Amino acid sequence: MLIKPKVLGISYAIIAPLFFGVLPFCWRYVPLPTLLLILDRCLFTFAISGVFLLITGEWETVRNFSLNVIKKVAKSAFYLGSHLGVFMGAIDLGHQVEAAIGMFLAPAATAVLSTILLGEKLNTIKRFCVGISVFSAIIFFYEAQEIPYFAVFIALTWGLYLCERKHALKMVNHPLAYSWLEQSLIAVVLIVIVIFNSVFLANVQPLTAVNSTAFLVLGAGCTLATIASFLQSKASQMIDCSQVGMLGVLSPVVQFTVAVIVDQKPVSLLQGTAIMLLLIAVVLYNCPPLKNPTLSKAN
């Protein structure tokens, strides 16, 4: 029995944010500055994707990338790099709550941007679900009592990235090759920044100074990120960008749950309510539309 592409796309879009939600927990055990952490993650994805492209005989796809394709992927890579920098920087600076709020806002930002940039349509139920996600983010913002500068930028860059990736994948049509090019572009920029930033180099803890346990955690985190990126790229080819964005709200839910279980952070009634509303919104958003019984009988 073959699985329908849309169902498969939804499955990919569910698994990916579950992996992404665990990543902040992994990064805290790796004593590296944010910039080097992002660089290591991109280099790992670049290397693993390249190996798989060689093994599967798809390296020809990479060799045939035109300048237009590289420019298109570079645009999405810029948004992803900006998103990763702000998101992981916020966590590194102790703004974990704002980072989570940003990802709670991301579905709404993605839905709005996808209607503007991609021409996707949202029916009444989907607009209602987007409204729920915004309301839930406001609840978390109220609890945090902070101006969400980080959160707004995180949400916007993620929404722009998903939209640009949707465009780019139409040109590349090969998620693994796309990931390889995207991660290599980000890695090149970060390497240039690291090389020319002498102040940064003077304060960097080299990767060789990371203990074996932290190194294993880094490898596990990078592997999860690589798999999640690939699955989300596949999902973007099968379902709407707004749907991928809405399912992405599972990432901060996992992040919040891990913080509660591992760090034993207290959960307020408002926070619990916000998470339940988000999960309800995700379910409603992805439910198939109800068929008109009159039309069904007529057919």
- What is the tens place of the pLDDT at every residue in 138-180? 887 777 666 667 888 998 999 999 999 988 888 888 888 888 9
DSSP 8-state code for residue 64:
T
For residues 90-102, average pLDDT: 75
Cβ 93 vs Cβ 189: under 8 Å: no
pTM for the model: 0.81
> What burial class does residue 292 get, using C-beta atoms within 10 Å of its C-beta: 0-12 exposed, 13-18 middle, 19+ buried?
exposed
The Cα 161–Cα 81 span in angstroms is 9
Contact by Cβ (8 Å): 159, 109: yes
Per-residue pLDDT band for 211 (boundaries 50, 70, 90) equals low
